[in-house]
Each structure stands twice: as C-alpha cells, then as structure tokens.
Amino acid sequence: MDRRKALGASLAGFAASGAAQAAAAKSPFTVAQAVVPVAASDEVFPVRRIYCVGRNYAAHAREMGSDPKREPPFFFQKPSDAVQFVSPAGITEHPYPSLTKNYHHELELVAALHKGGRNVPVEQALDLVYGYAVGLDMTRRDLQRFMGEQKKPWEIGKSFDRAAPIGPIHKLAQVGHITSGAIRLKVNGELRQAADLKDMIWSVAEQIAHLSQAFELMPGDIIYSGTPEGVGPVLPGDIMEGTIAGLPPLLVKVV
C-alpha cells in the first residue's frame, strides 16, 4: 500500500470509529432539529441552513438606497431555528421582537433543497430544489441600518428568534418550478408589496449557482430569494397576509 492509500485507509477508519462513537455517545440534553412540514404529506423537511439573498428586486434595491446594477448577488444567513412554521389553517401569532422600534416585513419565495453540491452550473441548479414555500424575512430595520452604518455585522437585525416565518413546503410534483407570478403582501387588508417573481434580478437557479461557489450546499438548506419593493413596518395587532401565485397564503398576526 502506498503512503497516500495508507493515509486514506487510516482516515476512513478514523471517520468510521468517530461516527460509531457519535452514534453511541450520550448527550446531556437534546437540541431540537428545526423542521418545516411538507404540504399534503406526513413528512417534515429538516432545515440545515437558511440562506437569504439581499436586494434581489430592482425597485427594492432602490428603496434601500442602492443602485440595482446586476452586481453579483450577496447572501446572509439566519440560524435554522429562526423558522416559525405558519400553518395554512388559521392565523399564526408572531411576537413583536425585543430591541426594535422599526420592525419590517419582507415577503419572499423560499426554495428548499434536497440535494447539495459545490460549483453547481446554473443549468443544473434547479435539480437541487425539493419544493417551494412562502416566507417572511422579518427584519429589525433600525438595527440592521445602525449596524450597517457602523460597518458591523447585521446579525441582530436579521438573525433573531422567529425571524423566518414560513408556510408548508410544497413538493415540486405539486407546484412545479415557481419562476413567475404575483407576490403580494397585505397588512390589515392594505396592499404593501406587489410584484412579479420574474422581476428578480437573480433567479433561484442563479442564486443556487452563486451560493454553491461560496458554500457547499447540502440537503436541508433553504433559500429566501429576496423581497420586492414596498417593505415597511408592522406593529402588534397587525395582520400580514402574504401570497405567492400557486401557493396557499400566509397569515401572520403580530402580537
């Protein structure tokens, strides 16, 4: 056996014994796996990472004070346990978070991945998609802006508890690839956000291709694909109704 093969064999043995130990090891407490129910099934989709794309509709980029040139997309993450499941049956209560006085809605199409990859070509990127959901990228806008102005991380503005309300994930077989159609958000019945998914600067396929150059994508990753113009504040008592053509509406009451 040459040295490289021998090293490979010993590493494989190490990995196998590590996995066996992990399976046998007891932990002092359990950590819940974040999941999102899959529509029309008894399955849940385990969430590994939440990626979000920023400024992906030209008119929203302008309202955020930037120039919507087709520069490479940029991404941030929310922790997986930031998901808050919003059942299509009824209205889900969403607590107004601490520390903010300017709490914003951003309605977004979410793509859920069941396959991973690195450097995925754009023509193959949609093969990674398991299904789609309606999501809200809730944002403490005042803190996001304050941190941005100081060139500090945005985390506190974007990545807090329950910052990612999401409806059930609809399998591809049910809804197909969602690349166009209306995306609308009403607050207390008043239309705030209204656009077409085809107005995205970077399509979901292009987002996956770009993301996979920076990170190895894995099954369980979900991608919030950006919000159109019309983001704005909500207050306790407000009811948000988010709709994306082909998916059931999302009804969330801020409490």
Residues that bind Mn ion (CB under 5 A): 106, 137, 227
- Give whole-number Cα distances, 187 to 82, 190, 243, in Å: 22, 5, 12
Residue closer to Mn ion by CB (options 106, 238) is: 106
Instruction: Provide, rounded to whole angstroms, the least separation between the CB of residue 249 and Mn ion.
Output: 19
Distances 249 to 146, 192, 238 between C-alpha atoms, Å: 32, 15, 16
Q: Which candidate, 111, 118, 126, places its Cα nearest to that of 205? A: 126
Strands 129-136 and 170-171: antiparallel
Q: For Mn ion, which is the closer residue by CB, 141 or 170?
A: 141
Task: For Mn ion, give the closer residue by CB, 38 or 185.
Answer: 185
CB of 53 to Mn ion, least distance (A): 7
Closest Cα to residue 45, out of 172, 232, 170?
170
Query: Which position's Cβ is nearest Mn ion?
Result: 137
> Residue 101 in 3-state DSSP?
coil
Between CA 157 and CA 106 the distance in angstroms is 13
Provide the minimum distance between the beta carbon of 109 and Mn ion in the complex, in angstroms, as a whole number: 11
To Mn ion, the closest distance from the beta carbon of 28 in angstroms equals 36
CB of 200 to Mn ion, least distance (A): 12
**Which is nearer to Mn ion, 5 or 198 (by Cβ)?**
198
